Structure 1
Amino acid sequence: MAYQDEITHMDRAELEALQLERLKKAVVYCYEKIPFYKENFDAVGFDPYALETFEDLRRAPFTTKQDMRDAYPYDLFALPKSEVKEIHMSSGTTGVATVSGYTENDLKVWGDCFARGIGYAGGDENDIVHVCYGYGLFTGGLGAHYGGLNAGAMTIPMSAGNTKRQIKVLQSMGSSIICCTPSYAMYIADTAIEMGLDPKKDFHLKAGIHGAEAWSNQFRANLEEKLDYKALDVYGLTEVMGPGVAIECMEQTGLHVAEDHFWIEILDPETHEPVPDGEWGELVITTLTKEATPVIRYRTKDITRIIPGECACGRTHRRIDRLHGRTDDMMIIRGVNVFPRQIENVCTGFEEIADWYQIELTRENSLDVATLKIEINPDFPMDEIRKIEDLQRRLEQALKDELATKIKVKVVEPYTITRSEGKAVRIVDLRSEEEK
């Protein structure tokens, strides 16, 4: 039996009753324990003691990343520091870092949620989980590590970097499930091939659990072809818990949300009204069991949708689609809203180009300009200028047809775009602050 099979196959009516019971406790807990929530609830007239239905939660105000930055470091903690056993933080690269605290039970829940993903991947105590997300304040490494331990698997805390050592361990120790960003998994595969290895024969992987960045279906297909395994998506964020909020099963038809621990809403980003299942909107999350730093109606800025219907795997927890993008990584190019994922999806139709790309943003004549730099496949004749120019024209036209705006294309030689041992850098903003 897979890890926590009983929980993930709960009868929907029983699961929703459990969610509502926990939601009632969560809003009261936040109101009584955290002054920020008391002030915000009172300001809009939201009475947490009167919540009776899921719809009642819509009267509660949102929590935003800026709220969490303003509360740095401890103002959103519900418990004294003596009861908090671990903290994690966002990078803070775009402002003050956000902080998430964990009690012993919070850490157990986190490990349990990620361990479900290991079960979804067919893993158990007989597997070897190779973790090469970064350890430390970033939630990736320890989230996957706790998941491996809770699943009963042997867990190797490799962390990110030292790629040739990663490859040696993958060869020699029989790692069967790898946890890292999808771009780093590709970097490992490409490096192994450059070293003269065949990952299909020299590695022992059956699955990868990859998150922390958006990646296309074609990128997934390329990964699976090179590594001969199943590549599964995982979703999470520091402000809520970390990786494990939702994870794909082997059906690869959406990420199962750990609904016993999280209540999710999909809202129109502008009107904040719920959208029907199947329609895209912003993901808003309320924690149901978090003790140290619970959040009510956290606006993730991630664009996804609830996938209607039941999964063929038989699990009853609802699924969200793989991320379409983020409201804050949306580019406005000549008045048109564009997400990097949309550009990547167009590129998958061109077999001449590889998986590595960057989008450079510049400004010309008071207009924002996006230039797609993308690598050619190694077996394509880069020295044949006419073929390169033709490829660039065709790709520019395909992007214009799909996005209704102009994206410049610059095809570059293989392995010239900088690789990362963590998250891939997809957008490079070369505009000055004055230009923005």
Structure 2
Amino acid sequence: MNPNIVSDPKINQTELTALPLTPVQLEIERKIGILRDSLSTQILQQWQLARLNQVLQYVKKRSPFYQNLFASFPEHLNSFTEFEKYPFTTADDIAKEGNRMICVSQSEIARIVTLDTSGTTGKPKRIFFTREDQELTIDFFGVGMSTLIEPGYKVLILLPGNTPGSVGDLLQKGIERVGSIGIQHGPFTDPYATNTRIEALRIQTLVGTPKQVFTLARVWQIAGMKNCPVRSILLSTDYAAPSLMNRIRETWNCSILQHYGMTEAGLGVGIDCAAARGFHLREADLYFELIDSNGLPVPDGTPGEVVLTTLTRKGMPLIRYRSKDISRVIQGDCPCGTVQKTYEWIKKRKDDDPSIISIQQLDDLIFDQSGINGFNAAWIGKDLKLNLYWESESHFKNASIIDRMIRDQHPLITHIIIQNEIGFPDSAFEMRKKRIAS
């Protein structure tokens, strides 16, 4: 295990010894051309405001969509407050007007990613990237992974990577740029075979979805395998319940960090530092806002919807794009010593129905139970149906604990149908296609 990474997020932050500065800040300093460890909030904001002005001029000149959208807005910004008056863009805009957002010729587009959308149009979103845009992602992936890996580490990538420009492909390139070895594996259907490969290749780092990695750890434990070589794990593409991460740590005694990714933002948005208390964001490439339901800024510490603007994208820049992700700024200085803000891990989406228990809430409750391997959940009318998957029949009794905890926390749920099974659910192996590029 990397001794510089906090393996238990429950540790009191005041008890932490000196931690290394997040490499995200070092990359920002490199990109904006200042000395190492010299970044300040003022320097960052000055640079971001200058970049915003350049981006606005760029899209007004090259994109028919933005020419029309910003026709009545000033040519130059003097403050971020002025920028807050600019209109938002949404998933519906991308679905309906995506081709008119492009700022380069079609011959310069190297990768097109199609994503489903829950917007009002029902049309899929198509996101366009140039090779230069993809290079930005590769750079960030390498920087982010340097928190977890050392030169020569073998990293098994459990994300899709067969297609050039896919998340796994770009991640492998980023890993190689920092002197480590990225090994494509992709999503798996046989966790026993994957664990055998981890053991045979002496894999030191895994990158995958929370439930993928949890499944591997459970199978490793159930099979009685010993001496796991994995020292560090990066979880991505989905919410990672603290209880799920704790179970992985208990099995493998490894460090776990989380990555915040979004295809619209170029796959990489932010990553934990060694303190593992929240994300530091790639603020040289993206400008972030948090807004309330009325579109107004929220104060630090208050949850709000993540709104992002790309500062360095060439192919398809996004201006004030409403992501529907909910986060907040964690107040107080980060133990890693960065001047950057720390953003809370994404636990919910703006369009989550508050009257229905979310998958994230179920994750928090269910993965805390002994013997659990996973679950599937569905609403049938007003009834919640749960298929719980256990290590053995002796654990079926824990289903009543889950039933009671759900009712205690969500009294509006009147009927819960539980079916207990032995084994693993299909969801243990599936990727969330809506949020990640294959």
Q: TM-score range by the shorter chain?
A: 0.7 to 0.9
Q: Which amino acid aligns with 2:408?
A: D
Pair 1:405–1:346, CA change in 2 (3 A) = farther
**1:31-89 Cα shifts (integer Å, max 9, x gaps):** 221111111122xx322x231211222111111111111135x3321101222233333
The answer (yes or no) to whether the contact 2:290–2:297 under 8 Å persists in 1 is yes
Q: Counterparts in 2 of 1:6-405, with a 5 A limit?
A: 6-7=26-27, 9=37, 10-42=39-71, 45-47=72-74, 49-72=75-98, 74-90=99-115, 95-121=122-148, 123-135=149-161, 136=163, 139-161=166-188, 163=190, 164-198=192-226, 201=227, 203-242=228-267, 244-268=268-292, 270-328=293-351, 330-331=352-353, 336=355, 338-347=357-366, 351-352=369-370, 354=372, 356-363=374-381, 368-376=382-390, 378=392, 380-382=394-396, 387=397, 391-392=399-400, 394-405=401-412
Q: What is the CA distance between 1:238 and its match in structure 2?
A: 1.1
SS at match of 1:212: coil
**1:389-419 Cα shifts (integer Å, max 9, x gaps):** xx52x53443233234216251512325324
What is the number of equivalent residue pairs in this alignment? 399
- Unaligned 5+ segments in structure 2 are 1-19, 29-36, 434-438
Question: Is 2:431 the counterpart of 1:423?
Answer: yes
1:432 alignment counterpart:
none
**1:79-133 Cα shifts (integer Å, max 9, x gaps):** 0122223333325698433222222321221111122221222x23322222120
Pair 1:342–1:194, CA change in 2 (3 A) = closer
The answer (yes or no) to whether the contact 2:231–2:254 under 8 Å persists in 1 is yes
SS at match of 2:132: helix
Q: What's the TM-score once normalised by structure 2's chain length?
A: 0.83
The answer (yes or no) to whether the contact 1:258–1:317 under 8 Å persists in 2 is no
Q: What is the CA distance between 1:321 and its match in structure 2?
A: 0.8
Distance 1:90 1:299 in 2: 16
The answer (yes or no) to whether the contact 1:283–1:299 under 8 Å persists in 2 is yes
- Unaligned 5+ segments in structure 1 are 426-436
Q: Which amino acid aligns with 2:418?
A: K
The answer (yes or no) to whether the contact 2:330–2:342 under 8 Å persists in 1 is yes
The answer (yes or no) to whether the contact 1:184–1:421 under 8 Å persists in 2 is yes
Q: Return the structure number with greater relative CO, CA threshold 8 A, min gap 6.
A: 2
The answer (yes or no) to whether the contact 1:63–1:295 under 8 Å persists in 2 is yes
Name which of structure 1's ranges 373-382 and 58-67 shifts more when overlaid on structure 2: 373-382
The answer (yes or no) to whether the contact 1:209–1:232 under 8 Å persists in 2 is yes
Q: Which amino acid aligns with 2:385?
A: T
Q: Which amino acid aligns with 2:402?
A: L
Q: Which amino acid aligns with 1:111?
A: I
The answer (yes or no) to whether the contact 1:84–1:102 under 8 Å persists in 2 is yes
Q: What is the CA distance between 1:314 and its match in structure 2?
A: 1.7
The answer (yes or no) to whether the contact 1:99–1:238 under 8 Å persists in 2 is no
Distance 1:106 1:273 in 2: 30
Distance 1:40 1:297 in 2: 12
Q: What is the CA distance between 1:317 and its match in structure 2?
A: 2.6
Distance 1:355 1:316 in 2: 40
Q: Which amino acid aligns with 2:369?
A: E
The answer (yes or no) to whether the contact 2:48–2:284 under 8 Å persists in 1 is yes
**1:293-350 Cα shifts (integer Å, max 9, x gaps):** 110011111111111222111233322111121123x235xxx2543222333445x5
Pair 1:4–1:236, CA change in 2 (3 A) = closer
Superposed CA RMSD in Å reads: 2.7
SS at match of 2:364: helix
Q: Which amino acid aligns with 2:52?
A: L
SS at match of 1:331: coil
Q: What is the CA distance between 1:178 and its match in structure 2?
A: 1.3
Distance 2:186 2:300 in 1: 37
The answer (yes or no) to whether the contact 1:358–1:374 under 8 Å persists in 2 is yes
The answer (yes or no) to whether the contact 1:277–1:307 under 8 Å persists in 2 is yes
Pair 1:206–1:420, CA change in 2 (3 A) = same
The answer (yes or no) to whether the contact 2:59–2:67 under 8 Å persists in 1 is yes
Q: What is the CA distance between 1:223 and its match in structure 2?
A: 1.5
Q: Which amino acid aligns with 2:88?
A: F
Distance 1:305 1:409 in 2: 35
The answer (yes or no) to whether the contact 1:130–1:157 under 8 Å persists in 2 is yes
The answer (yes or no) to whether the contact 2:370–2:395 under 8 Å persists in 1 is no
Pair 1:323–1:23, CA change in 2 (3 A) = same
Q: What is the CA distance between 1:352 and its match in structure 2?
A: 4.2
The answer (yes or no) to whether the contact 2:24–2:280 under 8 Å persists in 1 is no
Distance 1:210 1:138 in 2: 20
Q: What's the TM-score once normalised by structure 1's chain length?
A: 0.83
**1:5-51 Cα shifts (integer Å, max 9, x gaps):** 63355222222222111111112212221111111122xx322x231
